């Protein structure tokens, strides 16, 4: 059973406090949906560029964006395909993060399938030994566990992740750090392990309330000093999994990871604060009047323009009757779905299921929709 050894040092505790302060500040920033979409897309492109570059991809950040829109790069077709499949995997992580329930091992196999082939087919773990070597000297950096042990180790890892996320004994960033370390240590595939480990980290953080609206990229921190990243992962008295690495104290990697999160969160807090200021004081004051669920619904209206109560319930993961009761509290006594509160207005009355639009004064905050 996975039982990581680490210590919550004062330095780690300081990083955790920085992370919490940034998370709280970003959650209440009055960022409208068009600006949020821009920040989110920028973060996703950056994550795609840097996570694939860590693995040796040769495309520049501009070329990555061009590849995603269909550009061809003769002689670098594999690099272009790699960024496309990783981008699809990031989109799939966002979808999984929005679902309720546990983090499923099969889902991560599908994520690996997306990373490697662009298709959501669960991939099989390796059936032989793999070795991580130094590209220059050829020396062994890590000798992962034998293939026969991989399925059990992976089941133990996902059981541990879900148990810790449910019990809340450890801070979420620490859970994410340990999951990243162990996934990379097991190295369950011949290729794509680093990218999938980083995607697993994103999933844990997003499902646990550390998604920051999807506008940050930890890959930016990793890529600043790859040797430091690899050194942090190379913990233990031996490169051999069975000769000390499995029982190694991984405090150094937790410290590295949490420092990276603190750095990324601080950076994105500054970016988001500046973005919210550019929207103007009138819009900021308007957005501050909304509760967290109403702010989330701005994204749904941005995508669809007109929605039904059932679609609102599905988007917020609530029962239909709960949604009706919730939205009534947004209006005057007896108001249906908060129409009288000035947040929603009635949509097409000819539809069988009553539909709603944002009130006119909030349309600018959500954009024009589709």
Q: Let me know whether 90 and 238 are in one domain.
A: yes
Contacts of 219 by beta carbon, 8 Å cutoff, 6+ apart? 46, 47, 50, 51, 54, 198
Q: For residue 323, what is the domain's CATH number?
A: 1.10.10.10
In a domain, 328, yes or no: yes
Q: Let me know whether 331 and 244 are in one domain.
A: no
Total number of domains in the chain:
2
Over residues 305-331, the pLDDT tens digits come to: 777 777 877 777 677 777 666 666 654
Contacts of 106 by beta carbon, 8 Å cutoff, 6+ apart? 122
Q: Which domain holds residue 102?
A: 10-276
In a domain, 284, yes or no: no
In a domain, 2, yes or no: no
Q: Let me know whether 266 and 133 are in one domain.
A: yes
pLDDT in tens, the chain (370 residues): 888 889 999 999 999 999 999 998 887 776 666 777 777 888 889 899 999 998 889 999 899 999 998 899 999 999 999 999 999 999 999 889 888 789 999 999 999 999 999 999 999 999 999 988 776 777 777 889 999 999 999 999 999 999 999 998 999 999 999 999 999 999 999 999 999 999 999 999 999 989 887 888 888 888 887 788 888 887 777 788 888 777 889 999 999 999 999 998 998 888 778 776 765 555 555 666 676 677 777 777 776 777 777 787 777 767 777 766 666 665 433 344 444 456 776 666 555 556 777 776 666 666 544 4
SS3 assignment, position 308: strand
Q: Let me know whether 151 and 216 are in one domain.
A: yes
In a domain, 252, yes or no: yes
In a domain, 310, yes or no: yes
In a domain, 127, yes or no: yes
Tokens 């069988």, residue?
Answer: 352
Q: Let me know whether 55 and 78 are in one domain.
A: yes
Q: For residue 219, what is the domain's CATH number?
A: 1.10.3290.10
Q: Let me know whether 25 and 134 are in one domain.
A: yes
CB 214 within 8 A of CB 38: no
Q: Let me know whether 194 and 328 are in one domain.
A: no
Domain boundary among 251, 276, 301: 276
Domain boundary among 212, 247, 276: 276
Q: pTM above the 0.85 mark?
A: no
Number of alpha carbons in the 13 Å side-chain half-sphere of residue 337: 21
Q: Let me know whether 222 and 340 are in one domain.
A: no
Q: Let me know whether 272 and 307 are in one domain.
A: no
Burial zone of 44 (CB within 10 Å; 0-12 exposed, 13-18 middle, 19+ buried): buried
Instruction: Measure CA 360 to chain center.
Output: 32
In a domain, 243, yes or no: yes
Q: Let me know whether 270 and 300 are in one domain.
A: no
- Tokens representing 231 are 């050194």
Query: What is the Cα–Cα distance from 313 to 74, expressed in whole angstroms?
Result: 47
CB 96 within 8 A of CB 108: no
Domain boundary among 276, 301, 325: 276
First to last CA, the chain: 49
In a domain, 4, yes or no: no
Q: Let me know whether 264 and 321 are in one domain.
A: no
Q: Let me know whether 177 and 309 are in one domain.
A: no
């Amino acid at each position: 059973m996975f039982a990581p050894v680490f210590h919550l040092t004062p330095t780690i505790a300081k990083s955790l406090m920085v992370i919490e302060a940034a998370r709280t500040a970003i959650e209440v920033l009055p960022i409208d949906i068009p600006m949020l979409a821009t920040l989110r897309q920028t973060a996703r492109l950056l994550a795609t560029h840097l996570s694939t570059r860590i693995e040796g991809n040769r495309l520049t950040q501009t070329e990555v964006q061009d590849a995603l829109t269909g550009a061809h790069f003769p002689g670098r077709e594999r690099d272009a395909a790699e960024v496309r499949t990783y981008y699809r995997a990031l989109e799939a992580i966002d979808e999984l993060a929005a679902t309720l329930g546990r983090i499923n091992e099969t889902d991560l196999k599908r994520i690996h399938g997306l990373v490697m082939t662009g298709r959501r087919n669960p991939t099989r773990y390796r059936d032989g030994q793999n070795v991580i070597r130094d590209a220059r000297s050829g020396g062994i950096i890590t000798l992962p566990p034998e293939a026969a042990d991989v399925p059990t180790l992976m089941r133990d890892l996902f059981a541990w992740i879900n148990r810790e996320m449910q019990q809340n004994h450890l801070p979420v960033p620490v859970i994410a750090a340990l999951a990243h370390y162990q996934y990379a240590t097991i190295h369950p595939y011949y290729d794509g392990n680093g990218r999938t480990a980083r995607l697993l980290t994103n999933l844990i953080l997003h499902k646990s309330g550390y998604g920051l609206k999807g506008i940050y990229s930890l890959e930016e921190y990793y890529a600043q000093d790859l040797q430091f990243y690899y050194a942090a992962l190379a913990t233990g008295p031996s490169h051999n999994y069975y000769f000390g690495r499995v029982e190694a104290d991984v405090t150094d990697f937790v410290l590295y990871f949490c420092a990276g999160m603190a750095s990324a969160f601080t950076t994105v807090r500054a970016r988001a604060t500046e973005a919210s200021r550019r929207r103007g004081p009138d819009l900021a004051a308007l957005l501050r009047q909304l509760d967290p669920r109403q702010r989330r619904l701005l994204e749904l209206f941005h995508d669809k323009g007109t929605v039904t109560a059932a679609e609102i319930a599905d988007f917020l993961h609530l029962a239909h009757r709960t949604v009706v009761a919730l939205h009534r509290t947004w209006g005057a006594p007896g108001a249906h779905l908060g129409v009288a509160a000035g947040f929603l207005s009635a949509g097409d009355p000819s539809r069988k299921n009553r539909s709603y639009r944002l009130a006119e004064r909030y349309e600018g905050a959500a954009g024009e929709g589709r």
